[in-house]
Structure 1
Amino acid sequence: MRKLERVSEELSALQRDLQGTANRLWKLKFSLNSAYYRGCSEGDFLPRRLQSLRRHEQERFEALLQRLKALLASNLGSPMLLFDSDRDLETLRHIRRTIRYLKNAY
C-alpha cells in the first residue's frame, strides 16, 4: 500500500472516531441540561456521572486531535511529495477533502 493511501485510510478512521466522539459529547451535553431542567442539582448522581463521562469524551476528543496533528505533520509535512500515478492524485484529493471537512467541523 502506498504512503498516501495509508494516510488517507488513517484520516478516514480518525474522521469516523472524531464524529462519534463529537456526537457523544453533544448527547451528554443535552442529557446534562435535561437533568438540570428536571431539577437535579450538581451533587446528584446523574449530573456527576454525566460530567464524568463528558470529561472522558473530551479527553478522547483531544487525544484524537493530537493523533490527527501527528499524522499530518509526520506524513504530509514535507514540501516534496512524489506522485506515481493518477491514483496518487485522487488519494491526495481525498485527503484534502477529509482535512477540509475536519477543519470546518471541529
Structure 2
Amino acid sequence: MATKTETIVTVESDLSGKAEASTMTFAIEDATYEIDLTEVEQADFKELFAKYISAGRQHTPRAVPKMTPAEREEIRAWLLAKDIEVSHFGRLPKRALKAWNEAHPERQYTP
C-alpha cells in the first residue's frame, strides 16, 4: 500500500499574524524589503503610498554586462592591442564592447 505525505505551507502576515498572506516587495532608497501581508493589509499599504506612487516613476535598473574581472581585463587587453582607446580601469564603453562582440560572436557581452 502506497502512502502519500503532503506538506501544507501557510504564509502568515508579518503584521497581524493572520493566514492567507502573500509576500510584497518594496524599496526605499537603496534598500529593498519583503513583507508578508494579507490582501487587506496590502491594499492599506498601497493606499498609504498612492500619492507618492502616482507622482513617481518606475525604476529600471541599468543593465551591467555580466563578466568577471578577468574577462574584463582580457577584453581591455584585446581592445588596446587593436588600438581601440579605452581606460585602463573602470567600465568598458559600449563602442568597445560592440567591437569585441563583432570580433567574438561566440562570446557576446551586452553593453
Same fold (TM over 0.5): no
TM-score normalised by the chain length of structure 1: 0.24
More helix by share: 1
TM-score normalised by the chain length of structure 2: 0.23
Higher relative contact order (Cα pairs below 8 Å, separated by 6+ residues): 1
More strand by share: 2
Rg comparison, structure with higher value:
2
